[in-house]
Amino acid sequence: MRFGSLELKSNLFLSPLAGYTNLPFRLTLREIGGLDLATTDLVNARSLLEKNPKAFKLIETCPADRPLAVQLFGSVPEEMRDAAVYLESIGISSIDINMGCPVRKVCKVGGGSAMMTELDKTAALVKGMVDAVKIPVTAKMRLGWDDQNLTAPDLARALADVCVAAIFIHGRTREQGFAGTVNLAGIRSVVQAVRSIPVIGNGDVTTPQAAKRMLDETGCAGVSIGRGAFYDPWIFKRTLHYLQSSSRRRRDEALINAELAMRTAESKSEPPHVGSCHDGEGELLPEPSFAERIRVLCRHLDLMVEVFGEAHGCRMFRKVAPWYTKRFGPVHEFNKRVVLMSSKAEFHDILESYLRWRQQFVDETGDLKPQYRPAPLVASFMQEPAVAQRSAIPVPKGPVEVW
């Protein structure tokens, strides 16, 4: 896949999550595999230009964290342009413009979702950024402000006209926030509106099967994953394998069908029925073992401490650790203590205590007994409507909870 001059090895992307998609998390995902272009937390363009230390920490990176996009928000054309020029000068691979954030403090200054209500003004702002840099400029948006104002196709066309490199589209409106079902038809309408640039779908992708469903039903060129990566940091590796094996299977079946058709034509006999019992499905790698989940949990903490220092890194990890444990089975004993941790030594004491406590819920092979196994993850757009309405993917607590 290509974004302008940027050649990418994967069509799977990490969505920005304010307060979460920092350098330690990105490195954790990259070490597991399957992820190429990742995006930072959203950053205020003015804060970057003012050299605010907090803004600089949000864009902190390292050679192993490549390729990297920085997501900017703001509504002042000169500030957005100058911030883009600065980011290009320090080696950032791509710039993403936030047009999807529904948070009031972002919208009230004309950024985030508010940019979807003034198409000409937004297109002019983006053109100024595109003209000022050589690296790709992309835009992240929602379907519209609400169900009565689904402006994404019109905005996507306007942005394509000013040479934006790609569109990331979340399949909900600003009014929905993260509630309700992702609208695949809405994503498809954006894909159909702009054939000249890649459109990347986003929203509730929590499994490889959900990623494939979104790709198949919308025609989007790739999938961006946010909260799904917190449930399953292995999702990029597992999804990439699933999609690649699916493509190989379809290719092999097409070759077999073509060969059989040729033989039939030569023999002038009735062609046999040839089909696929898999319908193009790929090979689904098994979920990671409990031991592997613990290893990555500990590695993530090590990176948090390395980047933020022990005291601050451990405080930040209090809200991260419980996301790993959602696939652990019974975890009350762990969660009630890990949210109070203040050092690595304390974390490992809590973990060792939890591992002993957890033994009562596993069988002789070390696997969770059936009654304690977590339910499979299912995307909202793959559920029955009544189920999708009463179940929602929780939003991580913190800056992103109303994103």
Q: State the virtual CA torsion across 170, 174, 178, 183 in degrees, nearest 10.
A: -50
Beta carbons of 12 and 43 less than 8 angstroms apart: no
* Cα–Cα dist 276/249, whole Å: 9
Rounded Cα distance, 204 and 365, in Å: 33
As a whole number of angstroms, the distance between CA 30 and CA 64 comes to 8
DSSP codes joined into one string, 131-193: HH-SS-EEEEEES-SSTT---HHHHHHHHHHTT-SEEEEESS-TTTTT-S---HHHHHHHHHH
Closest CA to 84 of 75, 95, 100: 95
Sign of CA dihedral 140, 143, 145, 151: positive
Is residue 249 within 8 A of residue 280, CB to CB? The reply is yes
Which residue among 101, 107, 220, 314 is the active-site one? 101
The tokens for 274 are: 């040839």
277 among known catalytic residues: no
Give buried/exposed letters for 108-139 (b at 16+ CB in 10 A, else e): eebbbbbbbbeeeebbebbbbbbeebebbbbb
Cα separations in angstroms, 248 against 51, 241, 242, 244, 252:
49, 10, 10, 6, 6
Q: How far apart are CA 226 and CA 140, in angstroms?
A: 13
Residues, the chain, total? 403
- Catalytically active residues are 101
